[in-house]
Structure 1
């Protein structure tokens, strides 16, 4: 028992280890005792939390009872599963009492509930049974909609892992919750009339949304992006392809506080970094190619650059506005950006980075919008005066 932390389960533990429980005649009385004690503990827990001024002590209080209940659930589940044990019905009553209390704590004290604690054996058993049934359904539905085999295998791997490969002692609440979320999102997605490539795009979105940041998923995306680049004949097409994928991933939604591995960077952030590096590489190759094709030096325009008073952020947003309102009608964004990087400077940047320009083009801050709006209003006022 932890020092300075009140323990509310003594009476339940006494009933659990009671030697006086024999026969079936006193089963209703025993059950009534357990139910009354469970209700008393619920009220006590609710009452006690108002006496804690320090949240750390409250967290210790809740998690201490959570851990104790998990251990008691495992003990009672093991005892009740022994068919030769005459007291098995009493242990089943105890199990349901412990389970009721743990669910109460999880529901009412979610903020302090330890998701990384080992889940009870019975809880894991039920999850495994449900997951096994859903796995067969999902496999059939994904195959019927011509989903990519590799994507299917990756997304269903977490389900198979909890069914077959992971020892129960290492399965936490968080892992069970993650598997449930994967099943829920896949079931929701497969209700839509999507097939083939359209479905595959949405399956990747599920990976981003659930932060499926496993090494295998990162490797898959590296191969996937390489295949897209191989299908692009020209360098500008490769840059445009990477830019489009960067846009999709940057705009992807991510469910808060969830992930395959919360100790590692998110899948979304790792992929954004990966594409940025690949983009910079492709753009350097493009610049080298452009320099080889430049006319001989000596032209009066050699080294000329258009100088802007605006910042890179403002310039990127102006470019976005010109493209979206069709003031600039070029179709190839990468070529437009390459032109700006080569022939434009700002008040703070003699050499604009393609990565910086692209990042600020896709991610516009509210302050940038306001400053550009003021810039355009000043131009309108100038027009009105002249």
Structure 2
């Protein structure tokens, strides 16, 4: 495989680095020659890559070739920006414009080549790689402009709070910058911006389709359903309403290969799981069974257990919450899980389940923070019902 960026790399070092500034010429012919070189080199690289990838039969080799050039182009683009930011305050007045023009032309050519690779070699392009600083600033600018326009959007009363919520999430993401923004995320942001600005009739459904799986949006959806349930009468009416919501949700698919946060579940599946859990909770009983049989009745281990109307999964999360929040410095997690398994038993849909410490620490222990918060809410609701 031939590396095609050597000449471009050498040109940047020879003409844009801080060390070379003092040797700069103000001759217009030199500037035009440099600009022409950049344009011709851009076309040469594009043509050479098309031929090279076309000749490679092994997809793995083709992917390595494309991604090597992608990573290097991002590196060079960021280097040009860094050079420009340091150099511009030091460049003399008559050199400022030609130096800036040359930097801009190089930046534009690098972004063009990255766009070319993404479009023509999409199957090899690394969408989870960081974007260039120039691209990031463009996204930041678009998000900032969108946030300014949020107050001007004519959303109806139902969708206005959701519009504000999306704006807040975007604003926080813009301010945090905890991780580099990837090409996948940049594309998602643009789609999200376009969605909000076109003011759809049902913003919530459109966000589900776009797989906007931010925990705050998930919370908004579940709270909205919970509020509607308060208006319903008996348990059966609530169950019917949730079944209707579940049916609608299953008919609403999410956009393929689209996701806002990689560390959270698909929003459709997330909400589906919540509804299924809520329906199961209402179908079992209105009052959870929490009772400790008197020790005098039997010394059987099973009868001495505290009976909870929880699934094994919920109890597993309860165990993990206890381990992480009550005894954060305790190393013997196995002992804690074993003790919980010995002292509790669960019922799921009326059928008893055996619990082992392996299941508590294995299958059900590793959950994200949001899932744990959900279980806390369920448990607190059950405790409140018992107290009432």
- Partner residue in 2 for 1:187: 197
| Secondary structure of the corresponding residue to residue 153 of structure 2 | helix
**Cα distance change on mapping 1:158 and 1:105 into 2, 3 Å:** farther
* Residues 136-215 of structure 1 mapped to structure 2, 5 A cutoff: 136-142=148-154, 145-148=156-159, 150-166=161-177, 170-188=180-198, 190=199, 194=201, 202-215=202-215
Out of 21, 31, 38, the residue aligned to residue 27 of structure 1 is 31
| Secondary structure of the corresponding residue to residue 136 of structure 1 | helix
**Cα distance change on mapping 1:171 and 1:24 into 2, 3 Å:** farther
**CA RMSD, aligned part only?**
2.5
- Partner residue in 2 for 1:278: 278
Larger Rg: 1
- Partner residue in 1 for 2:127: 115
- Partner residue in 1 for 2:53: 49
**Cα distance change on mapping 1:148 and 1:105 into 2, 3 Å:** same
Report if the CA contact (8 A) 1:218-1:267 is conserved.
yes
| Secondary structure of the corresponding residue to residue 253 of structure 2 | coil
Report if the CA contact (8 A) 1:128-1:162 is conserved.
no
**Cα offset, 1:161, TM superposition:** 3.1
Out of 75, 79, 83, the residue aligned to residue 79 of structure 1 is 83
Where does the alignment leave 5 or more consecutive residues of structure 1 unmatched? 195-201, 289-352, 354-386
What is the distance in 2 between the residues matched to 1:262 and 1:221? 19
Report if the CA contact (8 A) 1:80-1:89 is conserved.
no
- Partner residue in 2 for 1:344: none
- Partner residue in 2 for 1:10: 6
Q: TM-score, normalised by structure 1?
A: 0.65
Report if the CA contact (8 A) 2:208-2:267 is conserved.
yes
* Residues 92-107 of structure 1 mapped to structure 2, 5 A cutoff: 92-107=104-119
Q: TM-score, normalised by structure 2?
A: 0.65
**Cα offset, 1:207, TM superposition:** 2.2
What is the distance in 2 between the residues matched to 1:160 and 1:147? 21
| Secondary structure of the corresponding residue to residue 268 of structure 2 | helix
**Cα offset, 1:124, TM superposition:** 1.1
What is the distance in 1 between the residues matched to 2:36 and 2:151? 45
